[in-house]
Amino acid sequence: MSVLTSAAVTAPERMSPRHKLILTLLLGAQFMLAIDFSILNVALPVVGRGLGFGLGQLQWIATAFALPAAGFTLLFGRVADLAGRRRMLLAGMALLAAGSLVGGLAASPGILLAGRVLQGLATAIATPAALSLLTTSFPEGPLRTRALGLSGALMSAGFTVGAVLGGVLTDLLSWRWAFLVNVPVAVLILAVTPALVAESRSRDGARLDVPGAVTVTGGLLALVYGITTAGQHGWGDPVALAALAAAAVLLVAFVLVERRSPAPLAPLNVLTRRSVSWGNAGGFVAFATETSLVFLMTLYLQQVLDFSPLTTGLALGVLGAGTFAGGVAAPRIMGRFGGRATLVGGLVLQAAATAALLGLGAERSALPLMLAATAIGGFGNLVAIVAFMGTATSGLPDGEQGLATGLATMTQQVAITLGIPVMSAVATAHASVLGGVHAATLVNALIAVAGGALVGLFLRRS
């Protein structure tokens, strides 16, 4: 029996009114942060025309957010353990409000990119803090599984909702509202959090591992930059290769530093736990494949079927509905089958639904197939994500929840960042858009089923 299901025997099964308020607050913060990953995706051409971005510069609007969001998450997850998780959540929300104002009022490309960098840093600060507050506010067992199920549903659905909301705001108002919509929500969270959420931090007296922080942050930044550059310019690009080589050196150095550090940023005994390592591996596959599939379907709807940004966003809303349903159902599935079987089953269902998308053609008559397959795949994806979150954070003391949730958040953000350029490179290698979408969709399905097989093989039952 898994740790999650065995804990269910003694843990209370009903949330108190205060628990519900805390859950609503933390889920709202996480949902808003998840939306920011994709809210500008369908609006990039409009933003480019409005501020004078060249075609080759548009990808930096996404990259300027993704680099700090992925690179600094593990560091700030550990800082939250030491300095206080509520304090870091509040700092992240304040920075998000500031970055959103800068981006929404930008009059030049440089100022807009500065706003996106601030938003990315805010995400790296606030997301692991909010998730670790969630895990420390609910005891391990049914309550935590239910909370993580809703969290996973909203975090994953946020990527799709961001595309829908971005299309609506751009068509009806202005792309600037894709930034400005964050400000009142962040201010509300800043006002309410101190009254609802108690401060939480590690009591072990450890200090921050500065050499570990420098090497892992530098390595992740170089990795994300290298793969993003390779996706844009090709895998033979010298800048991309240099960045990937630097990433390899820095991440190896990080492992060596952690072996000798008296207070490691990420203790190797935690990283090598099968629940942590293989739980995160399954989560990486789930996030990288599904978010890049959203990109591929956006490409298909706009460039093959000639849909508008608004119609594209609404069509992708069906996928969002599937993900939400998966997040709601996942805790019950986990309670019955355990984390390992749920994670594997979710990935396999997602892979099968993705493979069905190979039947898409150039006519709009294929739209019902796309809607049905993406809804089913979204359901499977969210079942896998909830199982990943539960598995990767289970069996650890509260003092290490910031690290565990920082690792889980880093997995999510690096996967989202890397999945799109890889699938984009596969798709653009073909002469036709439809042929490229088919090729990348096949690769996507194969990665999902391979990830499920590896997790099933190596994630031992607890």
Q: Cβ(319)–Cβ(153) under 8 Å?
A: no
Cα–Cα dist 134/186, whole Å: 18
User: What is the chain's Cα-based Rg?
Assistant: 21
pLDDT band (50, 70, 90) for residue 446: very high
**Model-wide pTM > 0.75:** no
d(CA 236, CA 41): 26
Q: Tell me the H-state helices in 300-400.
A: 309-356, 367-393
* 203: three-class secondary structure by DSSP: coil
Compute φ and ψ for 338, nearest 5 degrees: 90, 165
Alpha-carbon span 40 to 102, nearest angstrom: 15
- The SS3 call for residue 411 is helix
Quick: pLDDT tens for 183-231: 998 999 999 888 887 777 666 556 767 787 788 888 888 887 887 777 6
In the chain, the amino acid numbered 82 is: L
Amino acid 205: pLDDT: 55
Q: Report the alpha-carbon distance of residue 66 to residue 117 in Å, rounded.
A: 8
User: How many CB atoms sit inside 10 A of residue 203's CB?
Assistant: 8
pLDDT of residue 9: 39
Q: Which amino acid is at 12?
A: P
pLDDT in tens, 318-359: 887 887 788 778 878 887 888 788 888 999 999 999 999 998
Identity of the amino acid at 155? M
Q: Is 428 exposed, middle or buried (0-12, 13-18, 19+ CB in 10 A)?
A: middle
130 SS3 class: helix
Q: Are 416 and 288 in contact, with CB atoms under 8 Å apart?
A: yes
With a cut of 80, say whether residue 50 has pLDDT above it: no
What digits encode the pLDDT tens for the residues 86-125?
889 999 999 999 999 998 888 888 888 899 899 989 988 9
First to last CA, the chain: 6
Strand, helix or coil for residue 55: helix
